[in-house]
Amino acid sequence: MDLPAFSRGILFWRNRCASSLRGMFFSESMSGTFYAVSTGPAGADFITLGAVRVLGRCPTIFYPVTGSGEGKHIAFDCVCEAVDVSGKECVGVRFSMSGDKARTDAEYGAFASRAAEYLEKGDVAFVSIGDVSIYSTAARIAKIVGQMGFRVEFVAGVPSFCAAACSCALDMAPGLGDEIRIIPGDACYRSGALGDVLSSPGTKIFMKSPRHLGEIVSEVVSRGLSGSAHLVQGAGGADERILTGDALAEAGADVFGNAYMSVLVVGV
Amino acid sequence: MDLPAFSRGILFWRNRCASSLRGMFFSESMSGTFYAVSTGPAGADFITLGAVRVLGRCPTIFYPVTGSGEGKHIAFDCVCEAVDVSGKECVGVRFSMSGDKARTDAEYGAFASRAAEYLEKGDVAFVSIGDVSIYSTAARIAKIVGQMGFRVEFVAGVPSFCAAACSCALDMAPGLGDEIRIIPGDACYRSGALGDVLSSPGTKIFMKSPRHLGEIVSEVVSRGLSGSAHLVQGAGGADERILTGDALAEAGADVFGNAYMSVLVVGV
């Protein structure tokens, strides 16, 4: 169900975005809302009071389980620290996080169908680390669920790069004219644009660099930028680690072992 | 007191950033920590449990008062909704928000000296809307306070552009290779780079456009981009307003009256 005639050109008010308008065509008593809930990067300290409130009233909480190991569900760990989940149905969902779009689309579609069964009974939360509007699985699933006709709402959170910058007490835009770029590291490296990006003005935040973080750091160092660069691993978490200056320049290959959860901030 | 030999090339661990290291040379019992605390964009829903915890233990809370009117202290209103401030010393600080750097530097310096008097007695929080690492007065003051030798910590929060995107249920990076640019609107417009920026790939977030938001929106519309653009005023607040599509194209001058608190997201 899609309502382009309704969803275009309308003066929206709070919580009256396109997906909500679609949702208004369903009886509240017959179907719930799909909440894409941001938990922040790590631990209960980053979760918002709004997220706590929404999670408190959702009878079902889905959480992503990544990687092959057990216990790797950062978002759900945040939730459990902040919300009493006893009495709720909490369901881990494994996604392959494959680079193969057809495969991930199939996984997301399958999960959306599963979520729909729960939505017929009530509200559902799908939790995601960081903020759900930025590189999140939650947003991609929410789009499918919205297209299925369910009401969708996003609950904003602290993105990992803000946690990373704050851990370093960094002012990412010291001048009111300074730009901040959030750059997918692997894609930037592969495109050959890294040099141009590093020589552009403003603060550069590299995320999503599981494969090429080492090469990106090498380029930063070779350009003499390590003094204004901070590599933050596991931003905000108990095992957070920050490298800058000479330590960043001298970082060995082992530093890049958990590159997926690393944020590299190259300041102005 | 500055310790470049200590603050460069060190393998930092959580909360061991340069300013914290400086702070370690002061007796904890003799001086407090300056906490730059993010409150998110509007209302208690966006404040984090970590911010609540820090604010709860700070005997002094400074909050910025902007504009000429009474009661315009969004950050402090968030705090009061989330934290019991009775028994705390809560002090409004007026900044001119002038474009004159010499004037603002003088104001920040004067405030830092005032904050130092409180820091000799205990912890101090300076609250700021959004996230303190992005275009915040808090970060600029924290730098001065850190240079004076006090321990500084940033408490991360929800930036206004995440709240804006989430209110619209926007996926700002639907592809893992998509870049997101946070652009100071007025500076971009004045530089003549707006056209190039709008034709670049990725999502563009325009902030800090108090003077030229109307011209920026006109350029977005004339390029046929209004269908993928959302103008969010007062993101996350009770009076939030969202314009997109034809409504954005037809927006009159009155829409841009509160341009300073507006975020324009032009999606991929």
Three-state SS letters, B237-251: CCCCEEEEHHHHHCC
Question: pLDDT tens across A252-267, in order?
Answer: 777 777 777 899 999 9
pLDDT at A8 over 60: no
Do A112 and A18 share a structural domain? yes
Say whether both B121 and B66 belong to one domain.
yes
In the predicted model, residues of chain B with pLDDT beneath 70 are 1-30, 67-72
**Does A166 contact B at CB distance below 8 Å?**
yes
CA torsion angle for B156, B157, B160, B166 (degrees, to 10)?
130
Report the DSSP beta bridge partners of residue B48: A48
Q: Are B149 and B224 in the same domain?
A: no
Structural domain harbouring B182: 160-266
Beta strands A203-207 and A262-266: pairing type?
antiparallel
* Residue A174 burial (C-beta neighbours within 10 Å; 0-12, 13-18, 19+): middle
Quote the minimal CA–CA distance from A51 to chain B in Å: 8
Residues A117 and A173 in one domain: no
Compute the distance between CA of residue B7 and CA of residue A9 in angstroms, rounded to an integer.
53
What pLDDT is recorded for position B86? 95
| Interface with chain B: mutation pick from A158, A168, A183, A231, highest number of B CBs within 10 Å | A158
CATH of the domain at B258: 3.30.950.10
Task: Tell me whether A123 touches chain B (CB under 8 Å).
Answer: no
CA gap A112, A140 in Å, rounded: 10
CA–CA min distance B38, chain A (Å): 10
Cβ distance B8 to A45 less than 8 Å, yes or no, reads: no
Whether residues B146 and B243 fall in one domain: no
Instruction: Find the residue in A nearest to B41 (Cα).
Output: A156
H helical segments located in B60-211? 74-82, 101-119, 137-147, 160-167, 185-191, 194-199
Tell which of B89, B124, B155 closes a domain: B155
Residue B40 CA to residue B156 CA, distance in Å, equals 9
- Copy the structure tokens of residue A40: 């922040």
Residues 20..79 of A with a Cβ closer than 8 Å to B: which? 20, 36, 38, 40, 44-50, 52-53
Is residue A159 predicted with pLDDT exceeding 60? yes
User: Nearest CA to CA, how far is B27 from chain A (Å)?
Assistant: 21
Select from B121, B155, B189 the last residue of a domain.
Answer: B155
Enumerate residues 6+ apart whose C-beta is below 8 A from A38. A48, A51, A127, A128, A129, A130, A131, A132, A136, A138, A154, A155, A156, A157, A158, B158, B162, B166
The pLDDT, as a whole number, for residue B259 is: 73
What is the C-alpha to C-alpha distance for residues A136 and B195, in angstroms, rounded to an integer? 29
A57-109 pLDDT, tens per residue?
999 999 998 765 555 688 898 999 999 999 999 999 988 877 788 888 899 99
Q: Looking at the structure, tell me whether residues B32 and B149 fall in a common domain.
A: yes
Q: Which of B238, B48, B197 is nearest to A40 (CA)?
A: B48
SS3 A60: strand
Indicate whether B188 and B111 sit together in one domain: no
Number of domains comprising chain B: 2
Tell which of B155, B187, B210 closes a domain: B155
Amino acid at B251: A
Task: Answer yes or no: do B120 and B179 share one domain.
Answer: no
* Least Cα separation, residue B19 to chain A (angstroms): 8
Q: Which pLDDT score is estimated for A3?
A: 31
Q: State ipTM.
A: 0.89
| Whole-number pLDDT of residue A7 | 32
Over residues A244-257, the mean pLDDT reads 84
Contacts of A140 in chain B (CB under 8 A): 171, 174
Is B42 in the same domain as B133? yes
Amino acid at B71: G
What does the pLDDT read at residue A260? 76
**Statement to judge: residues B28 and B112 lie in one domain:** yes
Mean pLDDT of chain A: 86
In this structure, the answer to whether residues B26 and B90 fall within a common structural domain is yes
User: How much is the average pLDDT of A182-209?
Assistant: 96
User: pLDDT tens-digit profile of B48-74?
Assistant: 999 999 999 999 999 998 765 555 688
Instruction: Please determine, for residue A13, whether its predicted confidence score (pLDDT) is greater than 80.
Output: no
